[in-house]
Every structure is written in structure tokens, then in C-alpha cells.
Amino acid sequence: MQHSTRIAPSILSADFANLGEEVRAVDEAGADYIHIDVMDGHFVPNLTIGPGVVKALRPHSRKIFDVHLMISPVDAFVTAFAEAGADIITVHPEAGPHVHRTVQLIKSLGKKAGISLNPATSVDAVDHLLDQLDLILVMSVNPGFGGQTFIPGALNKIEALRRKIEASGRDIDLEVDGGINFETAPSAIAAGADVLVAGTATFAGGPGNYAANISRIRGTGG
């Protein structure tokens, strides 16, 4: 049930002084999702944005807001991000005591639910959640910062998760985030990923290059 490759530019690499215009620009350039990295300086070593920024960005795009919560404990913030305009809310199994309950909370708010697997988190972490999930995110770097180098071992995880998704018969996005660029994207796609998060590679060169960058990452442009 694999879909065509979708691109989710990470606004972590955008110009934060012009964030609304940046979201509008990547939307018009062909982005499928808008990927929003939320970091708390505790679960990961960086501090980014809160639900207020998501709410402010919402009028700038009708594309899917793919919100990745790298915060712990996560449950207290899920409702705020749902109300701010998130369409998909992705959490880490380590970010709270009961990840199944967290997923149920996301679904109860009418949102799609995702699970993110850090480089050292086993693919088996999704086994008892597959019937609830809409997205699985493979971190191909250790979360916390943009511009890191792709970890090759992530390809084996993507392949293993693709098999699990196919066996489940469910329509679950398989997303990869970290070090995705023109060189690494083809390998991720070949392994089974159908949503690519790309920050640095999307935003390189400014708005005039966004459409060409997105096409190259997707594998449809020169």
C-alpha cells in the first residue's frame, strides 16, 4: 500500500524571521506536508517552538501539518498542539509512561497519530500500536538538531517497518527524518519510506530554489 513519495520540509531549517512566508513558499513549491519539529531542551538538546507558533502558521498553508513532538512528558501538550492546527501528531515511546494512552489521546482529538523511533529504539516498539497508528517516523539521526548526517543503519529499520506495515494491511505513512538530501533520499525511498522530511536540502538557496529542491529530493527533478 506504498504511496508515491511525499516531501515534508522541516521548518527547523527555514528563516525563522519570515516563518509564515517560508511556509507559504514551500507549500507553493510542492511540499506535501509541513513538518514542524517541537523540541523542549529536555527530551532533546534544543529548544524550538510551541503551539502558539503552530497556530500562527496555520493560516499560511492548507497542507498537512506534520507535528513531531520531541518533548517529555508529552501528554500535557498534545491537546494544545491539536487545537493549534496539527493534523498529524507524532510522539516518542520514551516520552511518557504509557504510549498507547498517548496515541489514544491523539486519536480522541480527531488527529492522526504517529510514533517516532530514535536510532537506538527497536522497530518492535510499534508492534502493539499498529492498529492505532497513521504514521511511523524513523529518525535517521539522533533528534535535536538539523543538518546532521544520515545514519545508514536506518535503512534496515525502514525495510523492517515496511514489512510490518504491509503485513498489517493498514494505510500507515512510513516517514524518515534526518540527513535526507539528494544523495540519501533514493536509498530511503528504495528501503520503503514514502514520506521524506528534508530541512536543509529543501531550504538551500532560498525560495527561488524550493520547487527544484523538492523535485530533486522526490526523485522527479534534475
In-domain check, residue 30 = yes
- 77 domain-assigned: yes
37 is in an annotated binding site: yes
Asked whether residue 1 is domain-assigned, the answer is no
Q: Is position 212 within any domain?
A: yes
41 annotated binding-site participant: no
Please check whether residue 84 lies inside any domain of the structure. Answer: yes
Question: Which structural domain, as residue segments, surrounds residue 85?
Answer: 6-218
Q: Is residue 161 part of a domain?
A: yes
Is position 146 annotated in a ligand binding site? yes
pLDDT tens digits for the chain (222 residues)? 667 899 999 999 999 999 999 999 999 999 999 999 999 999 998 999 999 999 999 999 999 999 999 999 999 999 999 999 999 999 999 999 999 999 999 999 999 999 999 999 999 999 999 999 999 999 999 988 777 899 999 999 999 999 999 999 999 999 999 999 999 999 999 999 999 999 999 999 999 999 999 999 998 765
75 marked among binding-site residues: no
Read off the CATH number of the domain in which 117 is found: 3.20.20.70
Provide the number of structural domains found in the chain: 1
Q: Note the pTM of the prediction, 2 decimals.
A: 0.96
Cα distance between residue 68 and residue 36, in whole Å: 6
Known catalytic residues are 37, 177
